[in-house]
Amino acid sequence: MADSRIDECAELMANKGLTIAFAESATAGWLCSEFALTPYSGKVLIGGIACYDASLKVSLLKVPQSLIDDFTPESMEVTSEMAHRLSELINADIYVTVTGLTTPGGSETEEKPVGTMFVFALINDKPASFRKVFEGSCEDIIRKTIHATADMLISELSDDSAP
């Protein structure tokens, strides 16, 4: 069963005739999988790419290595670029990309501790994003990221000016 906020988001998208695609790093496809569990999956979900390792961001999505070198694989700059590159690979109305630090051993710093997550969306070419720091286990961080992403999308799609 899908997370209730994802279910609400998918229903809103279905009612608006919108489709969605994902490129996920830290969440490794979990966000896309949540959309697959909704009754609206056949109407809204196009698919996704799990690009956990930075090398896949470069080889599959064509994110420039220099951008990763300059900002780290877990950054809003790379997350944004992933969404723009995903739009060149998959035809959808909404592109959602995720990077972040769910466990130690990445690019964590005092300013970017484990639990820092970056989400970027292009909704009919309109950007929406957040950077949040979540507490807890790897699973907790991913679950909280999924909830926050659903909240962001619902907010954006509920705006009267949204398609």
Phi and psi, residue 154, nearest 5°: -60, -45
Closest CA to 5 of 149, 159, 156: 149
Q: What is the pTM of this model?
A: 0.94
* 99 to 57, 73, 117: CA distances (angstroms): 10, 7, 6
> What is the torsional sign of CA 123, 112, 138, 85?
positive
Domains of the chain: 4-12+19-104+123-131+145-158 (3.90.950.20)
Print pLDDT tens along the chain (163 aa).
667 899 999 999 999 999 999 999 999 999 999 999 999 999 999 999 999 999 999 999 999 999 999 999 999 999 999 999 999 999 999 999 999 999 998 888 999 999 999 999 999 999 999 999 999 999 999 999 999 999 999 999 997 554 4
